[in-house]
Amino acid sequence: MVADSSTAPHFVYEDDPDLPGWKRWELGEAGRYNDFLGPLSVRMEGDVARVRMVPQHCHSNVSNNLHGGVLLGFVDVAMFAASRGFEVLTAGAGVTLDVSVQFLAAGSVASPVEAHVELLRETGRMLFLRGLVVQDSTTIGNFSGTLRKLSPR
C-alpha cells in the first residue's frame, strides 16, 4: 500500500482480515524498513500483546532456520506494534533506546512467530518492555527493551 505521507497515518492499525480477533499493524507507506517483515498482527490478551509475523524464505539463513537478524528486527518492530496495542503509542512516534535479545532455540520458516510483549512501566517519555519470542509451543528467545516516546512536532 502506498500512501500520501502528508495525509495518511504512518501506521495502519485495523482489523486483520486474515485473523479474526487480531489487528493488522503495518506502515501506511510501502518501501520502508518494516516491509521486510510483512504486515504484523496484534492481539491483546490481558496485559500481554501478542505480535505475529509469518516468516518467508527470505527470512531464512543457509541452515534454513530463521536468521538471527530477522528475529532482532522483529523484536524491535514488535515492541512498537505492542505499544500500539497497549494504546501508549498511536502513531509509531518513538525510537528504540536499547534492546537485549537472548536466542534460546532455532526458529523455523514453516510457521508463524510471535512476540509476547509486556509493558513493564510507562513514564512521561519512556516505555519499558519485555517479552518472549515463541513459535508453536517453543520459546525461541526472550528480550527486554526501552522505547522513548517522541514529542509531537
Residue 93, pLDDT score: 76
Name 73's Cβ contacts closer than 8 Å, sequence gap at least 6: 33, 36, 37
CA distance 33 to 60: 17
Residue 8, pLDDT score: 44
Specify the range with the lowest mean pLDDT, choosing from 9-13, 14-18, 124-128: 9-13
More confident residue, 13 or 93: 13
Q: Which three cell numbers stand for residue 11?
A: 501506521
CA distance 132 to 114: 8
CB 49, CB 81: distance < 8 Å: yes
As its CATH architecture, domain 11-149 has Roll (3.10)
Q: What's the DSSP call for residue 152?
A: P
Question: What's the Cα-to-Cα distance from 36 to each of 55, 71, 149, rounded to whole Å?
Answer: 10, 12, 24
1 — pLDDT class (breaks 50, 70, 90): very low
Read off the pLDDT of residues 56-96 as tens digits, 9 standing for 90 and up: 999 999 999 999 999 999 999 999 999 999 999 876 578 99
Task: Round to the nearest angstrom and report the end-to-end CA distance of the chain.
Answer: 25
Neighbouring C-beta atoms of residue 46, cutoff 10 Å: 6
More confident residue, 100 or 7: 100
Read off the pLDDT of residues 17-55 as tens digits, 9 standing for 90 and up: 989 999 998 877 777 777 889 889 999 999 999 999 999
CA distance 147 to 89: 10
Ordered by start, the domain boundaries in the chain are 11-149
Residue 2, pLDDT score: 35
Residue 92, pLDDT score: 55
Amino acid found at 50: R
Q: Is the pLDDT of residue 119 over 80?
A: yes
Q: What is the CB-side half-sphere exposure of residue 103 using CA atoms within 13 A?
A: 12
Residue 153, pLDDT score: 60
How are beta strands 126-135 and 94-103 bridged, if at all? unpaired
